[in-house]
Chain A
Amino acid sequence: MNQEEAIIAGQCDRGGGYRELVLASPRIAATVRPGQFVHLRIPDLHGAVLRRPFSIYRAAGDNLHILYKNVGLGTTAMNRLEEGRQVSILGPLGNGFPLELNDRQPVLVAGGYGVAPLYYLAEKLREKGRLLVGGRTAQDILLIDEFTKLGWQVEVATDDGSSGRRGMVTVLLDELLDTAPAGRCVFYACGPDGMLKALAERALAHGLPAWLSLDKHMGCGGGACLACVTRIRTDDGSESWERVCKDGPVFAAREVVWE
């Protein structure tokens, strides 16, 4: 883990309420792996005592890119971060996704900001595969062109049917699981708990490996405070609390106990 005074290199709208923030952060950018995240201290956030965690969407040269949505106090204040401004970040944090495919075909399953870490993963995986992405409306679906440009096959589902299939991303998942090549898949997922849980159940039922990136509210981000824990079952059947910030955020679907 590093602590770096990053410099804002710019930010812009990316649609669907998301903004892309670029931070010059050479030390963290040099080592960050897909699925890892940074803990960002938002300047001038009076009364706030915690940093905010964000996944890495891209790392290129000295720069880290994140995609964030305005959902509250901190993320709204992030809109005001101007070029040249200094912000303190901790990173790279967490374990990240395993890149070893073991001859399996990667299938990425995304909801919400989940496309961000999965895009960085798609850049780094040796094989291309498909992305199944869900959202409320067409507007909420991000990065389709980017994934397509990388050579990935993209399938979309929206609640209102305004893009792709109507329904949840599980509709796409069930279709995929009905086809023959499904037996060679490995899933990588990031999104709302409901989506992760639905994927985990299906992957386990089909005996397929799945890696899930979990989202828990965090304190320290570095394993010290035990705020971010999730219930994990080991192969011998015993259960314990593990830290999403340090032991995760990526866990195997078979380990995760849904509360």
Chain B
Amino acid sequence: MNAATQPDISVKLAGLELKNPVMVASGTFGYGREYADLVDLNGLGAIMVKGILMEPWEGNRTPRMVEVRGGLINAIGLQNPGVEYFIKEELPFLRQYDVPVIVNVWGRTIDEYAQVCARLDSEPGVAALELNVSCPNVKHGGLAFGADPAMLAQVVKAARDVTKLPLIPKLSPQLFAIGEFAKVAEANGADAVSLTNTLPAMVIDVETRRPVLANKIGGLSGPAIHPVAVKLVRDAACAVKIPVIGMGGIENAADALEFIIAGASAVAVGTANFSEPQTALQVVDGIREYMQRHGFDSLAGLTGSLNME
């Protein structure tokens, strides 16, 4: 097939122009630097960096991760060096690349979410902010904000008031009526929503009858959550007009395509980066190949093309 018939896999989303719809998910790709030796960062749709708080944050004790059938459970607890360190030490590295950087923001209070957003608002090299209102591994903030529509509204609004950057609240798979939450995000100024974060989960060591993780519970990610996430993305995409970014257990192009067909405008690869750092780039190739095979010349035509007849 010649260049003229190459399908267009670029995406315009929340004011961003992405070369392709495949991002890497927050917390699974560090600050990009960690994988720069192995992965052509310019080939990624976007990089969602590890969750950032106003101040440095220690995270949880170890063990922080345990493998389970079809996935892993993590309880990192959002360890991060704080927004000032991120701006000074990590962002300049990322600026050398031609790839949008989406900063995952976290706060213990609504004020703190707003402070981090305000601080990042005018930093060159920040393309968008993803509001993490869905982390199961911290006592304050995280899921506490995302699980209550009134709180979610307040977080999104507080962030909206202090920044012109595109805002992407990240939703939890635990929500009963995901569409309603997506609507709340939309009504309060979100430019897109991303989902899903990890599913609260636990592993017990039967010999000691204790939880394996130091934090006792953690968040399940990987192939085990993929079908759950596909259904949630479908529900969210039906509920709102703003774009949906789908994630959860993507290991190959078909996994990603399910999200897109369900209504996602873009996707993110998380856990699979650990076993195969090239996953996101392979998914890009696979999507292009699929579109050629099925005669789609733009991604927009594929998004939400689910046939429910």
Q: Which A residues are within 8 Å of any B CB, using their own CB?
A: 1-3, 41, 47-51, 88, 90, 216-230, 240-241, 246, 259
Contact = CB atoms under 8 A, between A and B. Distances in A.
User: How many B residues are at the interface, by size bracket?
Assistant: 35 or more
B66 interface: yes
A229 B61 CA distance: 9
Given A225-B30, A227-B65, A49 B223 contact: yes
Interface string B86-119: 0000000000000000000000000000000000
Nearest to B72: A49
Contact of B28 (A1, A90, A225): A225
Nearest to B27: A225
A227 B76 contact: yes
Interface of B: 27-30, 34-35, 37-38, 50, 58-59, 61-67, 69-72, 74, 76, 79, 222-223, 271-278
Contacts of A90: 38, 277
A71 to B, nearest CB: 14
Contacts of B38: 1-3, 90, 222
Chain A's interface: helix, strand, loop or mixed, by majority?
A: loop
12 contacts: A49-B70, A49-B271, A50-B72, A217-B65, A219-B72, A219-B74, A220-B34, A224-B30, A224-B273, A225-B65, A226-B50, A229-B59
Contacts of A259: 61-62
Chain B's interface: helix, strand, loop or mixed, by majority?
A: loop
A51 B52 CA distance: 27
A18 B277 CA distance: 29
Given A49-B70, A219-B74, A224 B28 contact: yes
Contact of B34 (A47, A216, A223): A223
Given A3-B277, A49-B72, A229-B79, A219 B35 contact: no
A51 B277 contact: no
A98 B40 CA distance: 31
B272 A49 contact: yes
A223 B30 CA distance: 7
Which of B34, B63, B70, B278: most chain A CB closer than 10 A? B34
Given A3-B277, A225-B76, A49 B62 contact: no
A53 B156 CA distance: 41
A251 to B, nearest CB: 15
Contacts of A218: 65
A246 B33 CA distance: 12
A237 to B, nearest CB: 16
Contacts of A220: 28, 30, 34, 273-274
Contacts of B272: 49
A43 to B, nearest CB: 11
B29 A224 contact: yes
Contacts of A246: 34
A203 B125 CA distance: 48
A65 B142 CA distance: 44
Nearest to A246: B34
Contacts of B63: 217
Contacts of A224: 28-30, 34-35, 50, 273
B29 A50 contact: no
Which of A49, A227, A259: most chain B CB closer than 10 A? A49
B60 to A, nearest CB: 9
Nearest to B34: A224
A92 B30 CA distance: 19
A192 B61 CA distance: 19
B37 A1 contact: yes
A226 B76 contact: yes
Contacts of A47: 69-70
A51 B76 contact: no
B305 to A, nearest CB: 29
Which of B29, B64, B275: most chain A CB closer than 10 A? B275
A169 B280 CA distance: 47
